[in-house]
Structure 1
């Protein structure tokens, strides 16, 4: 099977159709609307520096191959590009112009562009692609997201300067989707030869901007790549002189800076701030829900009290979610009953499994031998029914943490004690790696339904080289493993969708997952900002953005 897709402009290629299309259309239309004010200018303006303020954790490394979390993707999108893009779920050319898959599905061959150069002057070629794949797969890199995405690749070979051949251990229907993600984006092989600490400070890509300075705890400075080669058939060079990427963890301060014009774009906006935004106001909302998994609680079935399915069922029945979701998120988040994001066309849900029923929770706990003591708490053989719930303060907004507290209160009503432990990001990762949790909220972004294999195949209980393991529910089900393996190897879209639905049904019925809502991904921006696009993983891309002020 040979695929030679029609090339598209970056603006179209980078729109995540069905995810952020409405918001992206809004951004495009804003540049052409009337009214005569500077923010309504239809003519792109060159120059100026866009200031972005992030409430996410400051990355410990700017190379997204290392580790591989969402804060890295937000930044890396601006200076690193991928082999393929996605348009309406279909792979499109970026640094690769075309690709072919062997009849047995175990060989993938890419043909590459021959006119692209990294910002350190190194040519982009087949040898560079091989070096990047080997870097992601090298245990010393300590990759998690990228490593798990490329597990099927046994060997990468530069057949000639423009051709890369990948030999796979199995057919991998999700591999092209995976190559659209920044965690496996292309970096200069010359730069990768530096010490990891050096490359973490200033990774080198082919994108519209390059990293020129990192003042830890404050900001990253990115400068226009004057030699940028636009992808697709576009001829648009970067319009901005650069980006200033600030780290402002306090949501109130971040929003105040946006209102005053000190910054142009912010993430992790609060529900009341989102409600105040409008397509006609000075501050507007780009709503770009992430693909992959929903925002959910994982119940650790391999450790502690949740090894007992009855206790898992009781915890889920006692979790009162809807009132808090409504009052805290002010209509900006909709309840999910699926393990997949609603933007995934294969998303399957079953509301009946997650009804709030404290009487049923009490019955299940009584039957399992957990008796109520004089304080109203459950205990068994002298041991209290305590659930450890570490929460990363860097990965959740205040409304979400308040929702966790409301769940904690509803669990207490049936005698389950939930201990919420607020930790910084590194301590949170350490708690997971050391299996010191019973329940956890662990957002995970990966394009397409193959995220289920990453999160719930029993092989994912084994840590990646980074030490992070993705199967936090520690779900160990051979029948589920077979379904996920079949889905990963099936090229037929209809058959794959059926297998994915069966897998989701199995996961939900295991009672190891409590879905909450889609991963929130809102970006507020000033009306003077135009031309933002979004990527396959719903990060904003400023390669064609401009400022009218």
Structure 2
């Protein structure tokens, strides 16, 4: 196994790439970090009628314990790529945007969809979605939230970045029926619409701010915070007193401090420079007494896209990689907690297919490596330059070398990963996926035609047909069966490999109150605060 940094990245004397303390802001189609950690829910229904605000905040019973004049400092591993929800190419930016912008639909920690700015909805037919909006809500710049604001946002998203355009592609038109009702006409992929409106594509920005075009360092949402300052290593937010959910701003000021190196973040957590951060279970245990963690994010996942245009053209070569991996050993040596899985969903998920799971089989992997011509070849593995992902890459590389392959690991920063993978110079990559509320969209993002991580063109026919059906079907039991067929086809074709589902810990010191992970694996910073003395 050897390491080779890409051009313009500093290397240390041991040959490994050095983590850059500054935040690189490459404009890529979709950051690999953004694709992976949650993506595991099946939409449960197509109507909602709750009148109350959804509780995606952390620690709702802890508000009385908080010093509401305090500053809460979050240690973030990655700087934001862009703070415009209509244009950002990176789903990781949701960490910075969720405290500021509400979505039309919300995803709870149990994976179900619930109202946020849309208080109810219904499909009036297969291609029409009617949404009734929450009234009396204003943006932080004083503009009213109403049906015209929704129209302006959906149109801005459809004309925005590639990720947003793809997310809203199912909406062919949108119109305001009255001040509190919007009607969406739907086309292809209409089954994904509700789930997409729970993502950044469903975030609502003041129409006035949309027209100004200046969201790089300012904000105008309906959420509990508003952005006051943006620097390369820190984004500052303060409570929005006009917000309809201002009680979810547990602290007066929320600072997002960018510290790419995990050990540096943990050191600052110990010293009190930051209030909370996220880490793996082993690192949390090493902190010692005086620290606590929130429940682990359920659906975090490491996944391995495969370039089938070189050494992995043969399914046998891809299967050799699958069988060479002792997933449980990799998990235990890296994250320390989670679930080793062959398929893209954990056992608790409705799309999980039990008979697809299998363990490592080194002898069969050796046979397949020999017969497919993989043995003796050099595999170029592109890895995110994050300590845990690099550890996983090293573990997998060692297992592949045991079946006769050679592996060259190329570390790269998260902000340029997708751009580098798109060059086609690499055979494998390992990424942490932040997922999507709809499993069909996860499949589409990973292996769909023109998906940014799919270097193989159209997916195989065994995958394409059921995937197309799922994308165009409203949530139902039948759709779940179709999604299981997609999962089975992907696993049998070895189109993309799952390594593990991980448990990311949200960790704080004694002063941190109300910690909770968000369903997709990002932390929820609504409702966090500092304990009153």
TM range (shorter): 0.7 to 0.9
Aligned residue runs from structure 1 range 481-496, under 5 A:
481-491=464-474, 493-496=476-479
1:517 equivalenced with 2:500 (yes/no): yes
Contact 2:305/2:446 (<8 A) preserved: no
1:388 equivalenced with 2:380 (yes/no): yes
Aligned residue runs from structure 1 range 509-548, under 5 A:
509-548=492-531
Aligned residue runs from structure 1 range 79-118, under 5 A:
79-87=100-108, 88-103=110-125, 105-118=126-139
Match among 213, 223, 236 for residue 207 of structure 1: 223
Quickly say closer, same or farther: Cα 1:316–1:47, change in 2 above 3 A: same
Quickly say closer, same or farther: Cα 1:415–1:542, change in 2 above 3 A: closer
Look up the match of 1:432. 421
CA offsets 1:209-232 (integer angstroms, 9 cap, x no match): 10110111x2111011011112xx
SS at match of 1:190: helix
Question: Which stretch has the larger CA shift, 470-479 or 438-447?
Answer: 470-479
1:74 equivalenced with 2:89 (yes/no): no
Look up the match of 2:282. 272
The separation in 2 between residues aligned to 1:483 and 1:66, in whole angstroms, is 30
Quickly say closer, same or farther: Cα 1:458–1:174, change in 2 above 3 A: closer
SS at match of 2:449: helix
The separation in 1 between residues aligned to 2:366 and 2:504, in whole angstroms, is 36
Match among 274, 293, 299 for residue 306 of structure 2: 299
Offset at 1:391? 1.3
Look up the match of 1:34. none
Q: TM-score, normalised by structure 1?
A: 0.81
Higher radius of gyration, 1 or 2: 1
- RMSD (CA atoms): 2.7
Offset at 1:531? 3.1
1:143 equivalenced with 2:162 (yes/no): yes
Quickly say closer, same or farther: Cα 1:424–1:159, change in 2 above 3 A: same
Look up the match of 1:338. 343
Offset at 1:348? 2.7
Contact 2:434/2:521 (<8 A) preserved: no
Match among 49, 62, 66 for residue 71 of structure 2: 49
Offset at 1:532? 4.1
The gaps in structure 1 that reach 5 residues or longer are 16-23, 32-40, 371-376, 379-384, 462-468
Quickly say closer, same or farther: Cα 1:295–1:327, change in 2 above 3 A: closer
The separation in 2 between residues aligned to 1:352 and 1:213, in whole angstroms, is 48
Look up the match of 2:234. 219
Contact 1:388/1:438 (<8 A) preserved: yes
Q: TM-score, normalised by structure 2?
A: 0.84
The separation in 1 between residues aligned to 2:207 and 2:485, in whole angstroms, is 42
Match among 478, 488, 500 for residue 483 of structure 2: 500
Match among 435, 440, 462 for residue 450 of structure 1: 440
The separation in 2 between residues aligned to 1:492 and 1:514, in whole angstroms, is 26
The separation in 2 between residues aligned to 1:63 and 1:152, in whole angstroms, is 21
Offset at 1:202? 2.3
Contact 2:54/2:115 (<8 A) preserved: no
Offset at 1:160? 2.4
Offset at 1:176? 1.5
CA offsets 1:166-196 (integer angstroms, 9 cap, x no match): 111146233212212234311122212234x
Look up the match of 2:297. 289
The separation in 1 between residues aligned to 2:325 and 2:217, in whole angstroms, is 43
Match among 401, 412, 416 for residue 390 of structure 2: 401
1:326 equivalenced with 2:326 (yes/no): no
Question: Which stretch has the larger CA shift, 120-129 or 447-456?
Answer: 447-456
The gaps in structure 2 that reach 5 residues or longer are 1-44
Quickly say closer, same or farther: Cα 1:508–1:309, change in 2 above 3 A: same
CA offsets 1:402-433 (integer angstroms, 9 cap, x no match): 22112212212232122211112343222122
The separation in 2 between residues aligned to 1:2 and 1:392, in whole angstroms, is 37
SS at match of 1:459: coil
SS at match of 1:304: coil
The separation in 2 between residues aligned to 1:439 and 1:189, in whole angstroms, is 42
The separation in 1 between residues aligned to 2:198 and 2:519, in whole angstroms, is 6
SS at match of 1:514: strand
Offset at 1:51? 0.6
1:260 equivalenced with 2:271 (yes/no): yes
Aligned length: 486
Look up the match of 1:36. none
Quickly say closer, same or farther: Cα 1:341–1:137, change in 2 above 3 A: farther
